[in-house]
Amino acid sequence: MSSVPERIGDLVYGLDEARLRYRHGPAFPTLGGLIGHLLESGSKVDGLLRHVHLDGMAAADVRATIDPSHDHELDRPLQEALEDFARVRRRTVDLLHGWGKTEWERTITDPRGGTFTLLEVCRLVTRHEMAHIAQIRNLTALLPDPEDLGPLQPQDMTP
Domains identified in the chain, total number: 1
Rounded to an integer, the average pLDDT of 43-64 is 92
Q: Which of these ranges, 19-33, 59-73, 113-127, has the smallest mean pLDDT?
A: 59-73
Q: Which domain holds residue 123?
A: 4-144
At 6 the pLDDT is: 94
Is the pLDDT reported for residue 139 higher than 80? yes
Q: 43: domain CATH number? A: 1.20.120.450
Has residue 135 been placed in a domain?
yes
Has residue 159 been placed in a domain?
no
pLDDT digits (tens, 9 = 90+) for 91-100: 999 999 999 9
At 51 the pLDDT is: 93
Question: What pTM was computed for the model?
Answer: 0.83
Has residue 150 been placed in a domain?
no
Inter-CA distances, 134 with 10, 11, 14, 81, 127, Å: 13, 10, 18, 19, 11
Has residue 156 been placed in a domain?
no
Is the pLDDT reported for residue 122 higher than 70? yes
Q: Which of these ranges, 21-30, 78-87, 106-115, has the smallest mean pLDDT?
A: 21-30
At 152 the pLDDT is: 63
Strand, helix or coil for residue 142? coil
Which residues make Cβ contacts (< 8 Å) with residue 126, sequence separation at least 6?
A: 1
Is the pLDDT reported for residue 149 higher than 80? no
Has residue 50 been placed in a domain?
yes
Has residue 151 been placed in a domain?
no
Rounded to an integer, the average pLDDT of 120-124 is 95
More reliable by pLDDT, 147 or 116: 116
Has residue 149 been placed in a domain?
no
20: number of CA atoms within 13 Å, CB side? 22
At 159 the pLDDT is: 60
| 64 in Cβ contact with 107 (< 8 Å) | no
Q: Which of these ranges, 8-17, 89-98, 117-126, has the smallest mean pLDDT?
A: 8-17
Where does the pLDDT of residue 16 fall: very low under 50, low under 70, confident under 90, or very high at 90 and above?
confident
Has residue 158 been placed in a domain?
no
At 120 the pLDDT is: 96
